[in-house]
């Protein structure tokens, strides 16, 4: 059985939608909870495939967990860590689980963690993580697909990242919590999820200054200074941006609740320039609307606070039917235009030249059978199908399920025509046998 989305496009999205907790934050908070002995509780935790994988990773370390579906809370009891190995079968499925490396080295002084996997959107090396840990005093050995890190004692150091890597910044923050003295990360990532992790760690008793800026300082504390806490995850800005695109693209009008508008300033500004109407309803809610055909824009993806690469595919989808020609430059990942062939099948006029995409707006998209290649590309195809004339089918939903909770239900609450259905997949061998036995005739 294979699940697929069946979507009938052309219906403006209207009403209200509630955004869930940030996937890219909660996964790192789960790793951070390993640092404190005792039972921590995290609220606003979405039910996602990636969260389930991370649960399996930390359960494999001997940590006890329980999820409360009604209150969207996750309890993590890290009183004991009985295993320091994060296995390939899990880490290879989801890159964020690599962040247990910094937490384990920090608390246990040793870790064996498989090299990470995740979406096939381009090369995302771990050398920044490794060099940073070595600067703190860890001895690193990589063999058989695993990173083996060991340190009798971690000592604070000056670390300058070649690029503002989110994962490396987070891993080094976790590693620096118990390091002797101060760890200074320069050219650090500035994403809201970095700030959320720092706030979580500081609430536990850590001493971190400068999160959200290009320089983060972690003043080491003793292990006994850390204690378990209760904490609420920030809203998911990428989910919010996806719904903003869907509402604008279908020429709808809806209120998006449980968001931090400041986390979406750059994306919001681009939508306003395209012709969308966006206004603040209250400190955590915005109203998004669009009546007329959008205008094309140009933009370059950049680390936060620039245009988020995770919303590039959503913006491209909007440009496919906008007035004029728009140019997108993807500066972060070399394979982040994987939605382009699928959008072309819907009638989009897109020319791709390496990391540049030139989109000439057409009057309309038409429905087609589409395949999700990765998380964000898959979500952008859902937006495209909602915009399109006619019916679409989207396959490989496991990519989308990694980062969007109850996606189709939220769309239906806004009036979108979408259903998730199971479909029996018959192998060529079974089909041949069936024809031979006349069971398919």
DSSP states of 321-382:
TSBSEEEEE--S-TTTTTTHHHHHHTT-EEEEETTEEEEE--S--B--EEE--SHHHHHHHH
Q: pTM of the entire structure? A: 0.93
> What pLDDT does residue 120 have?
45
Tokens of 181: 């003295």
Q: Measure the N-to-C terminal CA separation of the chain; round to a whole number of Å.
A: 21
54 and 117 housed in the same domain:
yes
Q: Give yes or no for a contact between 105 and 84, defined as CB atoms under 8 angstroms apart.
A: no
User: Tokens 């690193």 appear where?
Assistant: 140
Angle between the 166-176 and 23-32 helix axes, to the nearest 10 degrees? Answer: 20
- What are the tens digits of pLDDT across the range 296-329? 999 999 999 999 999 999 999 999 999 999 999 9
277 and 128 housed in the same domain:
no
Number of domains in the chain: 2
Q: Is the pLDDT of residue 429 over 70?
A: no
Q: Specify if 104 maps to a domain.
A: yes
Q: Within 10-140, where are the H helices?
A: 23-32, 49-59, 88-91, 100-108, 127-135
Tokens of 111: 């870790």
Q: Specify if 227 maps to a domain.
A: no
Residue range(s) defining the domain that contains residue 74 = 23-220
Q: Specify if 337 maps to a domain.
A: yes
Tell me how far the alpha carbon of residue 430 is from its chain's centroid. 38
Q: Specify if 321 maps to a domain.
A: yes
Residues carrying an active site annotation? 119
Q: Specify if 230 maps to a domain.
A: no
> What pLDDT does residue 196 have?
98
Q: Is 287 left (phi over 0), alpha (psi -120 to 50) or beta?
A: beta
55 and 204 housed in the same domain:
yes
* CA pseudo-torsion sign 206, 207, 210, 214: negative
Q: Please tell me whether residue 214 adopts helix, strand or coil conformation.
A: coil
- What are the tens digits of pLDDT across the range 247-282? 999 999 999 999 999 999 999 999 999 999 999 999
171 and 268 housed in the same domain:
no
Q: Can you tell me the distance from the alpha carbon of 271 to that of 241, in angstroms, rounded to the nearest whole number?
A: 10
Q: Specify if 441 maps to a domain.
A: no
38 and 121 housed in the same domain:
yes
Q: Specify if 129 maps to a domain.
A: yes
- Among 169, 185, 220, the domain-final residue is 220
117 and 242 housed in the same domain:
no
- Give the HSE-up count for residue 384: Cα atoms under 13 Å, Cβ half-sphere: 36
202 and 308 housed in the same domain:
no
297 and 186 housed in the same domain:
no
Q: Is the pLDDT of residue 430 over 70?
A: no
- Among 156, 187, 220, the domain-final residue is 220
* CA pseudo-torsion sign 127, 128, 129, 135: positive
- What are the tens digits of pLDDT across the range 227-246? 999 999 999 999 999 999 99
Question: Domain holding 137: CATH number?
Answer: 3.65.10.10
12 and 41 housed in the same domain:
no
Q: Specify if 341 maps to a domain.
A: yes
32 and 58 housed in the same domain:
yes
198 and 275 housed in the same domain:
no
287 and 167 housed in the same domain:
no
What confidence category does residue 145 fall into, taking pLDDT thresholds of 50, 70 and 90?
A: confident
Q: Is the pLDDT of residue 375 over 60?
A: yes
């Amino acid at each position: 059985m294979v699940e697929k989305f069946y979507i009938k496009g052309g219906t403006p999205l209207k009403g209200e939608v509630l955004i869930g907790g940030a996937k890219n934050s909660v996964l790192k908070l789960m790793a951070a909870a390993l640092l404190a002995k005792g039972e921590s509780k995290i609220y606003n935790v979405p039910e996602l495939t990636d969260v389930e994988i991370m649960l399996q990773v930390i359960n494999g370390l001997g940590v006890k967990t329980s999820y409360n579906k009604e209150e969207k809370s996750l309890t993590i009891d890290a009183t004991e860590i009985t295993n320091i190995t994060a296995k390939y079968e899990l880490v290879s499925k989801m890159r964020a689980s690599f962040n247990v490396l910094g937490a384990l080295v920090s608390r246990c002084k040793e870790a064996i963690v498989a090299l990470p996997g995740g979406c096939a959107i381009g090369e995302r090396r771990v050398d920044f993580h490794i060099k940073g840990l070595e600067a703190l005093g860890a001895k690193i050995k990589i063999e058989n697909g695993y990173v083996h890190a060991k340190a009798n004692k971690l000592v604070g150091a000056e670390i300058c990242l070649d690029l503002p890597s989110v994962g490396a910044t987070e891993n080094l923050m976790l590693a620096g919590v118990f390091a002797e003295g101060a760890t200074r990360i320069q050219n650090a990532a500035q994403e809201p999820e970095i700030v959320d992790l720092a706030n979580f760690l500081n609430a536990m008793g850590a001493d971190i200054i400068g999160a959200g800026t290009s320089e983060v300082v972690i003043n080491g504390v003793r292990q006994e200074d850390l204690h378990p806490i209760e904490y609420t995850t920030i809203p998911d800005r990428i989910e919010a941006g996806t719904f903003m695109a869907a509402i604008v693209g279908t020429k709808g009008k809806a209120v998006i609740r449980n968001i931090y508008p400041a986390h979406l300033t750059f994306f919001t500004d681009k939508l306003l320039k395209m012709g969308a109407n966006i206004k603040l309803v209250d400190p955590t809610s915005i109203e998004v609307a669009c009546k007329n055909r959008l205008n094309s824009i140009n933009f370059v993806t950049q680390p936060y606070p620039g245009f988020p690469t995770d919303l590039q595919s959503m913006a491209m989808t909007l440009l496919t039917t906008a007035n004029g020609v728009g140019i997108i430059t993807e500066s972060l990942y070399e394979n982040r235009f994987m939605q382009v062939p699928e959008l072309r099948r819907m009638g989009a006029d897109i020319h791709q030249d390496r990391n540049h995409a030139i989109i000439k707006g057409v009057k309309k998209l038409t429905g087609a059978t589409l395949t999700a290649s990765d998380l964000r590309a898959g979500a952008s195809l859902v937006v495209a199908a909602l915009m399109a004339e006619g019916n679409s089918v989207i396959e490989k939903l496991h990519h989308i399920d990694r980062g969007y909770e109850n996606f189709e239900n939220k769309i239906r609450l806004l009036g979108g025509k979408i259903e998730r259905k199971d479909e029996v997949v018959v192998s060529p061998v079974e089909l041949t046998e069936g024809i031979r036995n006349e069971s398919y005739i």
